[in-house]
């Protein structure tokens, strides 16, 4: 048998085409290995040593205190020359005819 004859016979053995199921499987596996950008962002993990984390938290707390996120309670300045008391009678209505009467709590309700 010559080489060309052998080659002709060998070519009678044909391979099937890859199935769509395999394509879907490979695509799914690839997506699992390479998720989208946002999925990677949401599932990202950062490993940090505890002392570094503690130092960062302390720095953050100091910065918050210094730059006014927690403001000290402001005290009103004292008026010059002592205390001033102000009052107002707006909306006051006197008892009609000056008839005052003592009532109990039950009556008031």
Q: Between residues 20 and 77, which has the closer beta carbon with respect to other proteins?
A: 20
Q: Between residues 40 and 56, which has the closer beta carbon with respect to other proteins?
A: 40
Q: Return the residues of window 29-88 that contact other proteins according to CB under 8 A.
A: 29-31, 33-34, 36-37, 40
Q: Please identify which residue in the block is written with the tokens 């006197």.
A: 94
**Which range, of 2-10, 41-49, 51-59, 84-92, touches other proteins by CB under 8 A?**
2-10
Q: Between residues 26 and 63, which has the closer beta carbon with respect to other proteins?
A: 26
Q: What single-letter DSSP state applies at residue 82? A: S
Q: What single-letter DSSP state applies at residue 77? A: P
Q: Please identify which residue in the block is written with the tokens 């395999």.
A: 22
Distance (Å, rounded) from C-alpha 63 to C-alpha 65?
5
30 to each of 27, 36, 38, how far by Cα in Å?
Answer: 5, 11, 16
**Minimum distance between the CB of residue 33 and other proteins, rounded to whole angstroms?**
6
**Token pair recorded at residue 36:** 């989208």
Number of residues that make up the chain: 109
Q: Between residues 19 and 88, which has the closer beta carbon with respect to other proteins?
A: 19
Count the residues of the shown chain that bind other proteins, applying the rule CB under 8 A: 32
Contact residues toward other proteins (CB under 8 A) are 1, 3-19, 21-23, 25-27, 29-31, 33-34, 36-37, 40
């Amino acid at each position: 048998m010559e080489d060309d004859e052998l080659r002709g016979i060998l070519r009678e053995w044909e391979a099937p085409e890859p199935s769509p199921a395999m394509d879907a499987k490979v695509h799914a596996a690839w997506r699992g290995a390479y998720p989208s950008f946002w999925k990677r962002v949401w599932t990202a993990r950062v490993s940090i040593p505890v002392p570094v984390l503690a130092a960062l938290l302390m720095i953050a707390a100091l910065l918050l205190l210094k730059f006014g996120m927690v403001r000290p309670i402001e005290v009103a300045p004292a008026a010059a020359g002592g205390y001033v008391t102000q009052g107002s009678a707006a909306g006051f209505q006197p008892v009609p005819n000056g008839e005052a009467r003592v009532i109990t709590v039950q009556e008031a309700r």
